[in-house]
Chain A
């Protein structure tokens, strides 16, 4: 069971408000880049390079804005990265507290099963490719559902509206074509 939309909506709105009251608006997708940079720097230690007052990178994206991303990757114990780790922990504890996600659902969501049957490999391939274009798109856009759509529209940011228009223009037809049967 999920929370009634009135309770859930107010609670989610309060979290977004508390974030901007106490620190800054919520965002997630940048941390995929930071994790990539941390991993890549282990493989190739020349990726993140110390400067006089912080860090820069041989990668132009990590080096942009005075090495903001390079600095965060060099110091992962920063607000935004810890936020995403804590988010995962919060979701885990919440799911456990309500009895956990069932074994069937953990393997395949019901909506997939209703449309494509017991085809986990196909599902995992779609999830992988979906993840690829979601994060490529989010980085191109400079934010994702949390940063652009929710935090952005909440702040009356024009970018948030442009992003939401693009996201729904693609999401609705794709979902309607792919998931004809209700799960």
Chain B
């Protein structure tokens, strides 16, 4: 029961924040991916940095259970799937989470996105054995540094928690340093709601 209450609280907070930062608005996604307004990119980079610093510092202080980490396997299909997701994300302006949030906030096109998504997920369920037998799903759970107590293989022998804080700080610096726009002229235009 506690886990369900946590699911409701954390899920609702996540949806509300996605709505407030503009991530559920295809105009903001389009501006970010055409590099004409990087406000959302700065938000996301700062979020990754903040989360990373808090999590790894919390682990070092013994406040965060290392066992709560969940590192996904790295394999060739991650890159191929990333390419597919990127293309659809750019065309539609939605990714799985923001598409659901956008539909909930009344955007009609997001309903079509979800319908397409359910069909795409079903198509993957059907074709999964082909990817599996081609060996494109084979790999390992790797982190950049060796996180103490996490049990994941690491790319380097650098202490993973310290590295996580350093990289997190790097994300924050990039978020601050990124200009408002990289393409197009003049002041970046904020999308309409």
> B19 touching A95 by the CB < 8 A rule?
yes
Bound form: Cα–Cα A5–B36 in Å:
16
Q: Which of A62, A87, A154 contacts B52 (CB 8 A)?
A: A154
> B90 touching A171 by the CB < 8 A rule?
yes
Name the CB-closest residue of B to A40.
Answer: B122
Contact with A along B32-43 (1 / 0, CB 8 A): 011111011011
SS of A interface (majority)? helix
Task: Determine the chain B residues whose CB is within 8 A of the CB of A147 once the complex forms.
Answer: 72
With A24-B68, A90-B11 already in contact, the answer to whether A130 and B124 are too (CB < 8 A) is no
With A61-B128, A169-B83 already in contact, the answer to whether A33 and B78 are too (CB < 8 A) is no
Task: Determine the chain A residues whose CB is within 8 A of the CB of B34 once the complex forms.
Answer: 172, 175-176, 179, 182
Task: Determine the chain B residues whose CB is within 8 A of the CB of A112 once the complex forms.
Answer: 26, 109
> A131 touching B45 by the CB < 8 A rule?
no
> A145 touching B107 by the CB < 8 A rule?
no
Q: Which of A15, A36, A95, A144 contacts B106 (CB 8 A)?
A: A95
> B48 touching A163 by the CB < 8 A rule?
no
A160 contacts chain B at the CB level, 8 A cutoff = yes
Bound form: Cα–Cα A12–B15 in Å:
10
Bound form: Cα–Cα A79–B28 in Å:
30
B8 contacts chain A at the CB level, 8 A cutoff = yes
A102 contacts chain B at the CB level, 8 A cutoff = yes
> A162 touching B74 by the CB < 8 A rule?
yes
* Shortest distance from the beta carbon of B174 to any chain A beta carbon, whole Å: 12
With A28-B97, A142-B72, A144-B85 already in contact, the answer to whether A9 and B175 are too (CB < 8 A) is yes
Task: Determine the chain B residues whose CB is within 8 A of the CB of A176 once the complex forms.
Answer: 33-35, 183
With A105-B192, A129-B88, A154-B52 already in contact, the answer to whether A83 and B83 are too (CB < 8 A) is no
> A159 touching B15 by the CB < 8 A rule?
no
B117 contacts chain A at the CB level, 8 A cutoff = yes
List which A54-90 residues lie within 8 A (CB) of chain B.
59-62, 64, 77-80, 82-90
Task: Determine the chain A residues whose CB is within 8 A of the CB of B132 once the complex forms.
Answer: 60
B129 contacts chain A at the CB level, 8 A cutoff = yes
> A134 touching B95 by the CB < 8 A rule?
yes
With A15-B10, A19-B10 already in contact, the answer to whether A59 and B125 are too (CB < 8 A) is yes
Bound form: Cα–Cα A33–B95 in Å:
15
Q: Give the 7 A-B residue pairs with the shortest CB-CB distance, closest first.
A: A166-B82, A13-B50, A9-B46, A130-B92, A137-B84, A141-B81, A131-B116
Which residues of A are interface residues toward B (Cβ below 8 A)? 1-3, 5-6, 8-26, 28-29, 32-33, 35-37, 39-40, 59-62, 64, 77-80, 82-95, 98, 100-102, 105-112, 120, 123-148, 150-172, 174-176, 178-179, 182-183
- In addition to A60-B129, A132-B123, A148-B82, 20 A-B residue pairs with Cβ atoms within 8 Å of each other are A8-B46, A9-B42, A23-B10, A77-B4, A82-B4, A82-B7, A84-B100, A86-B15, A94-B16, A94-B105, A109-B30, A124-B112, A134-B92, A138-B96, A141-B77, A145-B95, A150-B51, A156-B163, A159-B73, A175-B33
List 23 A-B residue pairs with CB atoms under 8 Å apart, sorted by A's residue number: A3-B20, A5-B39, A9-B175, A11-B17, A13-B50, A21-B68, A29-B96, A37-B125, A39-B118, A79-B3, A88-B103, A125-B112, A132-B88, A132-B123, A134-B89, A146-B95, A154-B52, A155-B55, A158-B143, A159-B74, A161-B144, A182-B34, A183-B191
